[in-house]
Structure 1
Amino acid sequence: MANYISGLSTGLDWSSMISQLLQMERRPITLLENDKAKLSTRSTAWSEVNTKLLAMKSTVNSLSGFDAFNLHTSSATLSGGSRAVDDLVSVAVGSNAGQGTYSLVVSNLATAEKLGSRSFGSVSEALGISGDIIINGRSVSIEETNSLADLRSKINTLNSGTNPAGVTASIVSVGEGEYRLTLTSVTTGASGISIANGSAENALGQLGLTDSSVSLRNAVTGGAQTFGYTSSDQDIQSLLGLNFAASGSVSIAGQSIAIDLSSDSLESIRDTINSNTALQAQGVSASIVSRSESGTTTYRLQINGTQSLEDSDNILQALGFLRQGTTEVSGVTGSSHNTTGGAAITTGTLLADIDGYTTWTAGDTITIAGIDHGGSAVGPTEFTITAASTVGDLLEAIEASFAGAVTASMNGSGAIVLENTQAGESSLSLNLTAHLSSGTSTLDFGTFESAVIRNRQITAGQDARIILDSTTITRSTNQISDVIAGVTLNLRSQDPDAEITLNITRDYDGIREKISEFVDKYNDLMTYIRTQFTPAGDGENAPALFADSSLMSIRSSIRNVILSGVNGLDSSLTHLSLIGITSDRYGKLSIDSSKLDGYLRTNFNDVVNLFVVQGTSSNSDLSYLRSGRATEGGSYEIEITQAATRASVVGTGFSGMLNEDAVLTISDGSGREVAANVSAGWTITAIVNAINAELSQAGGSAPSVAALNAGGELQIVGSAYGDYSFTLAVTGGNLGLADGTYTGTDVVGRIREEGSETWMTMTGKGQTLAGDEGQGVEGLVIKYAGTALGSFDFQFITGIGEKLDRALYSMTDSISGYVAGKQKSLQNRMKSIDQKIEAVERRIERREEMLMKQFITMERLVAQMQSQQQWLTSQISLLDSQWNQNR
């Protein structure tokens, strides 16, 4: 629309007139906006109410269950010793802690084992060592070109994956040009680090981690057993991941047994041993035992009847029967600290560059002589010095002279160190004599003194040891949580002279604080409601929710729960007021702390029962599991017409030993199937273990069953109660099991209020019964673990905490809650007002356009009339002028 200047032609300020007219027509909008502002204020007030209701609900929710009251605390005093209690132990107390006073002495802390290698002259040069080593069941393949740094990396790589080795490798610089590899267990405990050679090469010995002594690793009564393996029929090389799997003959009770780790499994080795007639004559046999833990089954080959095991190719060591020692290292060290250019010599130093050896001459030699570990003479042998001879070449010549029974190295001071690889007392000695052509040159390695060179076991793995109430207890870690129920002891230091008196008591202060927090949140809500119901003063606006019937209903509902009693309690403490929580005439609660503390200490269970939800029965087989918000409290009668059972079959007539090989095939309706093979001669224990091991190894593809020893007979039973079935087919053997399908049953029962003739239905699943929907017991779930049929009493009690939790849920639920409904209604009303305002605005816009058009039209017409008037006036003036001239 074109712009017009108001009143240009008419002289009327019609623009202002329109504005005034429209302002009058906007009066309804102002009224609507005022209404919306009031609704918004009410919505904000309801949000504040909801916030306070939720805060109260949070405290109430924790008071509706027993866990809220299972608070415990610890205190300790110390007698003897020189340290504070906190220096020795910290105590964490859980909800299931048992009250009591305990005497505690921390005798030893658990430590992690740490092993150290011999010294090497370089971190990056090739070690010249090859072979497999096994660390905590994980293999490391060492190649001749690997350096000390390479080996460290390979070992640390084992700490990844689903089965980490739990050992950390590090390199320690002992001195200039002297480096050692250390292995540290990630976990503490006496079990420490398990190391073994996995191939014929004695890589551990060459690294200096073990000596030449051999002993049983896993001894059992009258025999020995292997490491635990995840399979009994897979070859050992694959199970361990070996690259240099050993093969050869081992000696068992003096008999030669051929074993090839690249192809033999535990089962094939067992069969080889058991087929040896000479061993049979000695009563020596082999068997496979299994163990399941945390869903994983491990298998061990067990030799019974002898502990005489010998092996020169590390086969029995790789299997886990034998281990090498880690005793301290004896040896000799040269007294001369040779240098080159003023710095200590290393393995890479040329002999001709050693300070003092001023002139090398062809034909210079060093005589190597000494005595070995057992006292036999070594040498003399001559080492010829060439222009290219290094200290490392001399060390290799020394090792060769002692037939590899020693390791020779340089320490950081430039002295030669000769380590004995054998354990026990030693006669080891060394003499190096240089024969130099130049009379001005000297080459002296000094005299060699015997001493303990180093410890292979730097730190022994040790279990923690405590004395609790005069009983000595050991654990592998310094965090002990399975000695005192619900209490974790964190051991920090040891002092066998310090006796700690540890008191575990109920945390009455903590419980009182929880109750006080609930009271505070309740009072906060009631105070806010009271302010909303306080009339406004002169000239003031009334509170947003003044006289609101809905808010009044909320207040009444909550106060009624607070003031009401709890029915069904076997106690006189049925009201909050009886334990010191009372209400004044304004609905504000107060706590008589002295009274509440007294009842907490003398009638603790009665106080708890006043708050919590619970179900009880005189029948110990009938237990309460959970309930719903719709479950009604009261006394009930529960009738059990069928007890839950597990699918089961028991054999008959087993003689105690299986007469022939047998196969048990077990399947279920879900397509899961397992075939367990059992062998002739097995006892019931061996049969049960084998079947359970097969089931465990199959994991999720196995039927949910287990094998049991039922008084000497084999029993196959479903893992859970209820309507689950399995099918059994047996081939061979004298187990006395009938082929067929075996099915368990769900519990069947119903419930009614005490004194009522109307039964309510319940659905059984396994041993649980759940109240069906639409009834007073909707959401109630109980468990019946008995076998007897009949009617049993049951009381379902809702304490103050549970009642309040239900009431507050109905008020605060974000979807169906009462407050949410109020806020939604207010939002809808505000939305409706917005729509009305929008409609009025549109009408006013149309009215403005119409008035503008009318006034503009009037302005245009007046302008036209004025123009016509001016023309007529001019014409008349012209005519008048002409007339006057013509006169």
Structure 2
Amino acid sequence: MAAEAAPLQGYDRKTASYQAKVSAYGQLSGAVGVFQSALSSLNSATAFKGLSTTVGNKDVLGASASSKAVAGNYRINVSQLAQAQTLMTSGMASKTSSIGLGGSTTLFFQFGSASGSFGLQGTGLSSSMLTSGLSNGSLSINGTAIATSSSTNSASALATAINDKSGTTGVTASVANIFSTFGDVATDAGGSYSLKVGNTVIATQGAGVAAGAGVTAASLDADLANSGGATATALAAAGITFTGSAAAGTLEFRSASGASVAITETATGVTGGAKTATGAANAGASYTSASSVTLAAANGNPITIAGTNPAAAGLTAGTGGSVLGGGFTQDASQPSGSVVIDSSNNTLQGVADAINKASLGVTATIVSDGSSNPYHLVLTSNKTGENASMKISLSGDGSNPPDAALQSLLGYDPGSSQSMQQTTAAQDTKLTVNGIAVSSHSNTVSEAIQGVSMTVNQVGSSTLNVARDTGSVKTNLQAFVKAYNDLSGALKKLTAYDPETKKAGALQGDPAAQSMISQLRRMLGGQITGLSGGLTNLGQVGITFGKDGTLSLDDAKLNKAMDSNFGDIAGLFTAIGKATDPNVNFVSSTAKTKPGTFDLNITNLASQGSLTSAAAVGGSTTISANTVWAVTLNDTTPSNAKNIANVTIPAGTYTADQLAKIVQSSINGSSAFSSNGTSVAASIDSNGKLVLSSSKYGSTSNIALADVSGSTVSSIFGGATPVVGTDVAGTLGGKAVVGSGQTLTGADGSDAEGLKIEVTGGALGDRGTVGFSQGYAYQLNNLATSFLGTGGLLTSVTEGLNNSIKDVAKQRDAFSAKLDDIEKRYRAQFNALDVTLSKMQSTQAYLTQQLAAISKNG
């Protein structure tokens, strides 16, 4: 049987040989995987175009640079950080008690910029102050005592005292002064001029008087200074005194009672006068010379008034403030939103929960201050910046007014009624870059320096250096060279013969391994086609083959290439597309895209779905209460409910521009659309018509409006018909392309297959060319994938070897089974022979006995 089993050794030798190759290919696959990983850092254009940033003071800011940045040195000075606006309601005894009568009331939130200043408007100064001044200690602002004395006996003097402490209080004071400018009065042939303080006329000028020949700042001051004159006597009789002078721009009238003084300027055919420069037209006006101060908080925070007698200064003890002389301009780019408050949620907690659930861009919380009415609803905008100030309006259901209690608690309009108190003002980040003023709505400042993004952390100064990131390029190329050499070394070891040990590598003479070596060297030794720059091969950046087949990197050549052709290095390694037309951008490619230059011709530009009003929008448009439209945006066939939403348009009277803003922000505030990433833009075109368009381009871009309640769609848009968007269309290299929105993709089977470009504008017809090249890293990555991927060379060979091992195992098992049969036959034969031999031995013994007996008897 040992002789019969000798062929088993052959099967074992075959199995060992196949397993050795499987192991060798496993090592080779690992080396290819490492090589492919090293290519990842070279297969992105940004790896070669990036810049590094060095920040002098990291406590002040951090920075990063994109490929669009330009090297340079910058000095950054941050003077203010962006912050979000916070509003607070007055206090309530309970957060769960009902507010109002429970009628349906809609809260509508708008976001934009508030004008005016935040502060306090003082009342008339007390008569005792005007007579005896303000004793020291009478007034403190934000915890700082204001130094006053007997000479603090006018609004101007009080403002000066307050402003002396503005560095610590953050509060400035001003006085309404109509004579900040007084131009020489001139009257034409039919003109006349009169200036009246209270009921006293202090200056007049008849027709045909030239500037400088009649009423001037100097003549006005002289007349007032004449204590025995008619003007001074009449003012004294009326209890009106004055300080300052018209010439100095400080003239201020005041009443003995501390009240403000009315001033009337009547002018016909007049130039010059109060608040009017010499030669400038003056139609006359009514003014107030106030015996009071106006306080403004620089940071928009509430002002705390205290002291022993703040009332004498026309101020009330306590903390407060509001927007003075303000207005509100909506930012159409910020979505608006609404929430309904009714009997189911008309508590402080219910309102907070409803606002938070509605995702309006506002966070609602309830704060308790520990007082007898401790609970305050606090609303904070989710965005920072001056353009994120809130306006909160309320409307009732149908023709019903909003709930009065909710209105008095929650209404807030910077230009009108302010039921809520601002506790933190919306403000921008403010900084200078090399002395140039820059502002940002957030603490992330982008594009103040081209291609650089800065994150501002605190007020202060820092330097910023932006430089080419040549170090990363060199590191990536060194890693590439090492990874290739490691792969080449692995291939060499597995395919070589060692004369000293007289042993061959597991893959010596293996055709798959030889094919890999051949393909890698051929690819690295070739040139890149389709490039428009000055670099086309690895040798130009210092990467060359040595006699032993390994790669080496010459630092001097690389540095020279980076100095002279830094922007072209990326094309050597990555897949890059570049269009000659500035309105055409390369997006992506596939492994099937062939290098080359393709002529581009555009036959149709992409458009957006839109709805344009049939007629020009009037200068004033009124939207009635409870106006709701059903908006369909970018719907499909068949229709999808997620593309349709009911949108509330807040009631009000709007100019054309305001109407466009409110419609845009209202639709974009719908969570149904924002969750889908869809939005609209509204504008007034050159014909005065309202244009509402989807932000999406292409044949799936559409928009439609339908009535639900309130003002009808037709009252704004007339009988206008929606227009569906179209896809861009054209050819690449004379071949058809697939258009979708603003993108064109090369069709299957063409050289430009998978090449995707974006056409953002321009004209129809020939649009230049689109060049595409595949760099070394891109090609090598595809080659490595062809080795390792499903159906790849290494995968296929390894699968074949494993199948061969299985076949040999089957052959060995079959032969082993055959050996069992042979052994059984041999044993059967042996047993039969043994029986026969036993019988023969028995016969022999018998015959021996018989012969012995015969011999004995004979």
TM-score range, shorter chain: 0.5 to 0.7
Cα contact 1:612–1:799 (8 A) shared by 2? yes
Task: Give yes or no for the alignment of 1:470 onto 2:435.
Answer: yes
Q: Structure 2: which 5+ residue stretches go unaligned?
A: 99-297, 303-315, 361-380, 396-403, 413-417
Secondary structure of residue in 2 paired with 1:764:
strand
Cα contact 2:586–2:758 (8 A) shared by 1? yes
Aligned with 1:601 (options 556, 563, 588): 563
Aligned with 1:827 (options 802, 805, 822): 802
- 1:573 Cα deviation from its structure 2 partner: 2.2
Provide Cα deviations, 1:824-878, integer angstroms capped at 9, x if missing partner. Answer: 122222221111111111111111122122212332443455456557767888x
Aligned with 1:851 (options 826, 832, 857): 826
Q: Match of 1:750, as an amino acid?
A: T
Task: Give yes or no for the alignment of 1:35 onto 2:10.
Answer: no
- How far apart are the structure 2 equivalents of 1:322 and 1:110? 25
Task: Give yes or no for the alignment of 1:63 onto 2:42.
Answer: yes
Secondary structure of residue in 2 paired with 1:623:
strand
Secondary structure of residue in 2 paired with 1:735:
helix
Aligned twin of 1:768:
743
Aligned with 1:213 (options 295, 313, 318): 318
Aligned twin of 1:331:
none
Aligned with 2:691 (options 715, 737, 744): 715
Task: Name the CA shift for 1:801/1:830 in 2 (closer, same or farther; >3 Å).
Answer: same
Task: Give yes or no for the alignment of 1:542 onto 2:542.
Answer: no
Aligned twin of 1:354:
none
Task: Give yes or no for the alignment of 1:100 onto 2:192.
Answer: no
- How far apart are the structure 1 equivalents of 2:647 and 2:405? 35
Aligned with 2:52 (options 73, 85, 89): 73
The range that moved more, 502-511 or 734-743, is 734-743
Task: Name the CA shift for 1:519/1:220 in 2 (closer, same or farther; >3 Å).
Answer: farther
Aligned with 2:472 (options 510, 514, 521): 510
- How far apart are the structure 2 equivalents of 1:734 and 1:244? 36
Cα contact 1:231–1:298 (8 A) shared by 2? no
Q: Structure 1: which 5+ residue stretches go unaligned?
A: 1-21, 78-84, 115-128, 133-139, 144-189, 195-210, 247-260, 267-289, 304-311, 327-456, 753-758
Secondary structure of residue in 1 paired with 2:618:
coil
- 1:113 Cα deviation from its structure 2 partner: 13
- How far apart are the structure 1 equivalents of 2:83 and 2:671? 36
- How far apart are the structure 2 equivalents of 1:869 and 1:854? 22
Aligned twin of 2:755:
780
Aligned with 2:728 (options 736, 742, 747): 747
- 1:88 Cα deviation from its structure 2 partner: 6.0
TM-score (norm 1): 0.56
Aligned twin of 2:340:
234
Aligned with 1:557 (options 511, 519, 525): 519
Aligned with 1:300 (options 374, 392, 399): 392
Provide Cα deviations, 1:512-560, integer angstroms capped at 9, x if missing partner. Answer: 1101111111122223333344333166221111122322222222222
Matches within 5 A, 1:634-673: 634-651=596-613, 652-658=615-621, 665-667=630-632, 668-669=635-636, 670-671=639-640, 672-673=643-644
Aligned twin of 2:811:
836
- 1:565 Cα deviation from its structure 2 partner: 1.5
Task: Name the CA shift for 1:715/1:796 in 2 (closer, same or farther; >3 Å).
Answer: same
- How far apart are the structure 2 equivalents of 1:745 and 1:870? 116
- How far apart are the structure 1 equivalents of 2:335 and 2:53? 44
- How far apart are the structure 1 equivalents of 2:426 and 2:849? 128
- How far apart are the structure 1 equivalents of 2:350 and 2:794? 75
Q: Match of 2:697, as an amino acid?
A: Y
Cα contact 2:663–2:682 (8 A) shared by 1? no
- How far apart are the structure 2 equivalents of 1:221 and 1:461? 14
Q: Match of 2:326, as an amino acid?
A: T
Q: Match of 1:213, as an amino acid?
A: G
Task: Name the CA shift for 1:656/1:543 in 2 (closer, same or farther; >3 Å).
Answer: same
Cα contact 2:611–2:703 (8 A) shared by 1? no
Cα contact 2:578–2:770 (8 A) shared by 1? yes
Aligned twin of 2:782:
806
- How far apart are the structure 2 equivalents of 1:736 and 1:92? 47
The range that moved more, 229-238 or 860-869, is 229-238
Secondary structure of residue in 1 paired with 2:813:
helix
Task: Name the CA shift for 1:478/1:291 in 2 (closer, same or farther; >3 Å).
Answer: closer
Task: Name the CA shift for 1:231/1:727 in 2 (closer, same or farther; >3 Å).
Answer: closer
Identity over aligned residues, as a percent? 24
The range that moved more, 484-493 or 736-745, is 484-493
The range that moved more, 64-73 or 466-475, is 466-475
- 1:719 Cα deviation from its structure 2 partner: 2.6
Task: Name the CA shift for 1:468/1:686 in 2 (closer, same or farther; >3 Å).
Answer: closer
Q: Match of 2:51, as an amino acid?
A: H
Provide Cα deviations, 1:682-710, integer angstroms capped at 9, x if missing partner. Answer: 33334334433443344336995625113
- How far apart are the structure 1 equivalents of 2:551 and 2:759? 41
Q: Match of 1:654, as an amino acid?
A: V
Aligned with 1:691 (options 651, 658, 663): 663
Task: Name the CA shift for 1:688/1:291 in 2 (closer, same or farther; >3 Å).
Answer: farther
Q: Match of 1:853, as an amino acid?
A: A
Provide Cα deviations, 1:555-593, integer angstroms capped at 9, x if missing partner. Answer: 222222212112233333222112222222333221110
Task: Name the CA shift for 1:75/1:571 in 2 (closer, same or farther; >3 Å).
Answer: same
Cα contact 1:297–1:693 (8 A) shared by 2? no
Cα contact 1:660–1:681 (8 A) shared by 2? yes
Cα contact 1:212–1:325 (8 A) shared by 2? no
- 1:105 Cα deviation from its structure 2 partner: 4.5
- 1:107 Cα deviation from its structure 2 partner: 6.3
Q: Match of 1:300, as an amino acid?
A: I
The range that moved more, 630-639 or 659-668, is 659-668
Aligned with 1:611 (options 566, 573, 586): 573
- 1:625 Cα deviation from its structure 2 partner: 0.9
Cα contact 1:70–1:95 (8 A) shared by 2? yes
Q: Match of 1:636, as an amino acid?
A: F
Cα contact 1:291–1:693 (8 A) shared by 2? no
Aligned twin of 1:281:
none
TM-score (norm 2): 0.58
Aligned twin of 2:28:
49
- 1:488 Cα deviation from its structure 2 partner: 6.1
Secondary structure of residue in 2 paired with 1:742:
coil
Secondary structure of residue in 1 paired with 2:73:
strand
Task: Name the CA shift for 1:297/1:773 in 2 (closer, same or farther; >3 Å).
Answer: farther
Cα contact 2:542–2:553 (8 A) shared by 1? yes
- How far apart are the structure 2 equivalents of 1:245 and 1:560? 72
Task: Name the CA shift for 1:856/1:710 in 2 (closer, same or farther; >3 Å).
Answer: farther
Aligned twin of 1:735:
716
Provide Cα deviations, 1:487-513, integer angstroms capped at 9, x if missing partner. Answer: 56677787x6xx543212112111111
